[in-house]
Structure formats: structure tokens, C-alpha cells
Amino acid sequence: MDNPGLDARSSGAGHGARPEGTVLEYGPGEPGAVSGVRRRRSPALPVGSRCRRGARVSRIAVFGAGHVGLVTGACFADLGHEVAVRDVLPDRIEALRAGEVPIFEPGLDELLAKNRERLTFTTDVREAIDGADFVYIAVGTPPTYSGDADLSAVWTVIDELPLLDRRVVVALKSTVPVGTGEKVRRRLDARGLRHVGYASNPEFTAEGTAVRDFLHPDRIVIGTFDAADADAVEELHRGIEGPVVRCDVASAEMIKLAANAALMTRISFINEIANVCEATGADVVKVAEGVGLDRRLGPHFLRAGIGYGGSCFPKDASALKQLAANSGYHFQLLNAVIEVNELQKRRVLGKLQRHLGTLRGKRVALLGLAFKPNTDDMREAPSVVLAGRLLAEGAEVTAWDPVVDGRRLLHGVELAASAREALRGADAAVLVTEWPELAELDWAAAAKEMRTALLIDGRNMLDPDALRAAGFVYEGIGRAAPRNGGLD
């Protein structure tokens, strides 16, 4: 097998007067040259007319109608490709056929509706595969009991593939341990599918901005065993502007895990700085601003808070930790990142106790339940840990979220229809998710309706001075707190 390794050339499809498809060769050190990166410069297509402009229209079967699968399918359809999305859940497929979108993702409804004629939804493998040039696998890879990634859904897709009589490229979008591609390759070969290509094409989309992240990516990573497969996957993305990193399969798999680990490390780092700020009187918001202006560091992912959650970071951290351990390496830094995050979620309890004493019988309002705004996802959300700990301490817990219905996950928590209702009669409020609605709230009026106007701003979203002027004892994360506890 031809393993292309990192491709040191840079190329681009035309900008301005340059005809499309012209290859620009950058010398090392020239502007635009990035080692191992092809810089794609396709002109941006006007909204609503992502026609293929002479480029090849491909047929793509996407396995998995979850977050990643639907965004991938909708975006490829928007680029002009014919897409069949296949899922094992008949209800989900029925809903999609009826034009209902089963997940909350800004812009996705519109994109699916706009590209309806290029999208089909099915539970049938053969129907999805029929005439396909690419099979995208976007199924879940949740953690097993041991913390490793559960790849059973990936293997099911591989084993269900019919004996294709032409060259189709199987591309893996799901996040998987390094080495998975090698195993998939061996399984395809063993099944008599030696002629089928393989690519690792990991996703870097964040919930809430997934459509934008797909169509305007920081990079497109393509790991293959064969340069022709990389060419095919790169061509599939024509119309999307962004650097393309072509590499071997193992490196592509590691890029995904390492990128998420780096982002989590930044979060745990700034959270620890926040904790030291609290002990020393510094303000982490200002500190992050000052640190982030260093061009070598940049401003992103330096927002201190009550820890990261979601369907990706905690799962991927665990998978990378186990991957390292299974390979005989103790990944100390990642272990610390995970532990810092767990402790960070619980620090709010200490803050509440410092102000209120025992929490037994106290009423605490949680504002926001989703792991971040613009999503209805509560997986690994700090709100779940917080609610559990508060109930265990004997507190009464009320909660509000504009999107999430937390009934299934939050037993014993009273759900309120509005933030004001959740706050009414409460002894304390914790801002858990930075929903924009909370910036608009009439905090002065809310303060009057609370038993004790105490607010722990778990995301440093609000202006401390404005909240104090509104009558609150305000405490953020890593910001100077009133020395006397503020309530007397």
C-alpha cells in the first residue's frame, strides 16, 4: 500500500483571475507556505448557489444521522453532492423524511431544507450505498466501561457493506483511537474489499457552530493509505476554503485527539490560574485577556469557568488516556487536565457554603443546563454534577434552561419555565450556561424576589459591578470576591 505521508507541497485552486484548478507552488518560507499543508483557495460560492462549477458531483452515503452525520450530509449536499443518510433508527429517519430535524443545531434546519432534492434518508444499507462513490461513517464511538472507545457501531457498518464492484472510498468521520484505520483496512481486505479505498477525515465541528465550522474550517485533515484516495476526498471538499493537511491515517487520527486534548488543556490551565487568582486577588478575566494577546498563545479557550463538558471532550480525553495507557505510556498531563476539570465542577459547592453555611434546606437555582449555549446537549454537562452534589447536600434545586428539557437526567430537580421563576424564593443562583437570555434578565427585579440575592457566575458572563448595583452578592470564577463573604 502506498502511504503518502505528509505532503510537503502547497497548492491552491484559483483566486480572482487565476483559472480554477491552477496549482500554486509555494517555496519554503514564502507567504502561504505551511509545511505539509495544501492551501485551498477556491473562490467562495455565493450563498444558495453552491453549484459544482464543472467539478464532479459525487454520491455519498453517510452512515449515522446524529450530529456529525447530519451536519456532514447537509454540508456535502450544499456543495452540490447527492447524499443518502442512513441510520438504524426508523423514527429518526421518518422524522427527517418529514422535514423534522431531530437535533438542535443552528442553521442545520435551513441547510437540510435548502438541499432537500439532493438528500435522501433511509434505514436500508443497500439503498444508501447504491451508486455511492464515498461511504462516510459518522456513528457514535461512546466510552466503554474501561474508558476505551466503543467501536462496535463502526464495525457494524464495515461488516454491513455489500461486496462493492467498484472503487468506493470509505471515510471515517467518527473520533476513533489511533490504529483504527489500520484495523478497518485489514477488515475490508479480509472481506474481499481490497479495491475499496479508505480515508480518515476527522471532524472539527463544535456543537452550536457545526455548520459554519464545516463550511469554513480551520483545516481539512485527510489521512489515507493511498494518494488517489486523498485526491478524491480533497476533491469532494471543493468549494470549501481552508488549508488541507494530507497525511498518513494514524497521524490524521491523532490530530483529532491531540487537538481536543490541547483545547481541554487550555481550559484546565486557565481554570487553575483562576483558582490561584481567587487565592491572590487577581482577576482571571483580565489575566486571560493579557495572556491571550500574546500572538504565540492567542485568545481562544481561555475562558475560566466551572469546567468543560459535552459529548466530545470528556469522552475523547478518556479515549486518549486509555490509548496511551494501552500502549504502555502514562499520559500525566492529560490525567491532570481531567482531574482539574472534575474538581472545577465541584468548586461551586464550596463557594455556596462559604456564603450560606450548610446547604441543607437551602434553595439553589441553576440557570442553564446545557453543557454550553446554542445546544440542547446535556451530556457530561457540569449542571448534572452540580445538581447531584447539591441534592446530596440536602439543598432544594430549581433549574431553568431555554432549550433543554432536563427531566430525564435531573431527578429531584424542579424545572422552571423561566429564569425569573427559577430564581423566585431562592437562597442562591448559579449561572451554569452562558445563555444570551441571562444577559438580558432584569437582575434588579430578580434580586428582590430571591430570599438571598447571591449569584455565583460560573461562566464569568455578567458584569460584577452591575450585578452588585442590582443588589446581588456576586462571585465569579477567578475574580476577586468580597472578603467578608458579602452577606453581612
Q: Among residues 352, 346, 310, 305, which one has the least CA distance to residue 462?
A: 305
263 binds ligand UGA per the rule CB under 6 A: yes
What is the Cα–Cα distance from 9 to 246, expressed in whole angstroms?
Answer: 10
Nearest distance, CB of residue 445 and ligand UGA, angstroms: 28
What is the strand order of the sheet 396-400 is part of?
A: 414-415, 396-400, 363-367, 428-431, 454-457, 473-475
Nearest CB to ligand UGA, comparing residues 429 and 432: 432
302 binds ligand UGA per the rule CB under 6 A: yes
Q: Which of 11, 174, 180, 205 binds ligand UGA (CB under 6 A)?
A: 205
What is the Cα–Cα distance from 150 to 144, expressed in whole angstroms?
Answer: 5
Nearest CB to ligand UGA, comparing residues 122 and 383: 383
Give CA separation, 419 vs 104, 190, 429, 441, 449, in Å.
Answer: 21, 57, 10, 8, 12
Could you tell me which stretch among 123-131, 177-185, 202-210, 346-354 binds ligand UGA (CB under 6 A)? 202-210
Size of the site for ligand UGA (CB under 6 A): 21
312 binds ligand UGA per the rule CB under 6 A: yes
Nearest distance, CB of residue 267 and ligand UGA, angstroms: 5
Tell me which amino acid residue 426 is.
A
Binding mask 356-375 for ligand UGA (x = CB under 6 A): ---------------xx---
What is the Cα–Cα distance from 349 to 436, expressed in whole angstroms?
Answer: 24
Nearest CB to ligand UGA, comparing residues 80 and 382: 382
What are all long-range contacts of 151-158, with beta carbons under 8 Å and residues at least 24 apart?
Answer: 151/176, 151/177, 151/180, 153/64, 154/180, 154/184, 155/187, 157/63, 158/184, 158/187, 158/188, 158/191
Nearest distance, CB of residue 270 and ligand UGA, angstroms: 7
Cell of 486: 458579602
Nearest distance, CB of residue 263 and ligand UGA, angstroms: 6
Nearest distance, CB of residue 268 and ligand UGA, angstroms: 9
Nearest CB to ligand UGA, comparing residues 11 and 460: 460
Nearest distance, CB of residue 372 and ligand UGA, angstroms: 4
Nearest CB to ligand UGA, comparing residues 83 and 378: 378
What is the Cα–Cα distance from 370 to 260, expressed in whole angstroms?
Answer: 19
Paired with 86 in beta bridges are: 63, 122
| Residue 247 falls in the annotated catalytic set | no
Nearest distance, CB of residue 481 and ligand UGA, angstroms: 19
204 binds ligand UGA per the rule CB under 6 A: yes
Nearest distance, CB of residue 444 and ligand UGA, angstroms: 27
313 binds ligand UGA per the rule CB under 6 A: yes
Nearest CB to ligand UGA, comparing residues 197 and 309: 309
Tell me which amino acid residue 427 is.
D
Which of the residues 75, 247, 277, 312 is marked catalytic? 312
Could you tell me which stretch among 75-83, 84-92, 180-188, 200-208 binds ligand UGA (CB under 6 A)? 200-208
203 binds ligand UGA per the rule CB under 6 A: yes
Give CA separation, 52 vs 20, 77, 111, 261, 472, in Å.
Answer: 12, 11, 17, 36, 57
207 binds ligand UGA per the rule CB under 6 A: yes
Could you tell me which stretch among 74-82, 303-311, 413-421, 463-471 binds ligand UGA (CB under 6 A)? 303-311
Nearest distance, CB of residue 15 and ligand UGA, angstroms: 27
258 binds ligand UGA per the rule CB under 6 A: no
Nearest CB to ligand UGA, comparing residues 34 and 206: 206
400 binds ligand UGA per the rule CB under 6 A: no
269 binds ligand UGA per the rule CB under 6 A: no
Could you tell me which stretch among 35-43, 224-232, 310-318, 406-414 binds ligand UGA (CB under 6 A)? 310-318
Q: Which of 63, 134, 198, 308 binds ligand UGA (CB under 6 A)?
A: 308
> What amino acid positions are annotated as catalytic residues?
312
Residues found near ligand UGA in the complex (CB under 6 A): 175, 203-207, 260, 263, 267, 301-303, 305, 308-310, 312-313, 316, 371-372
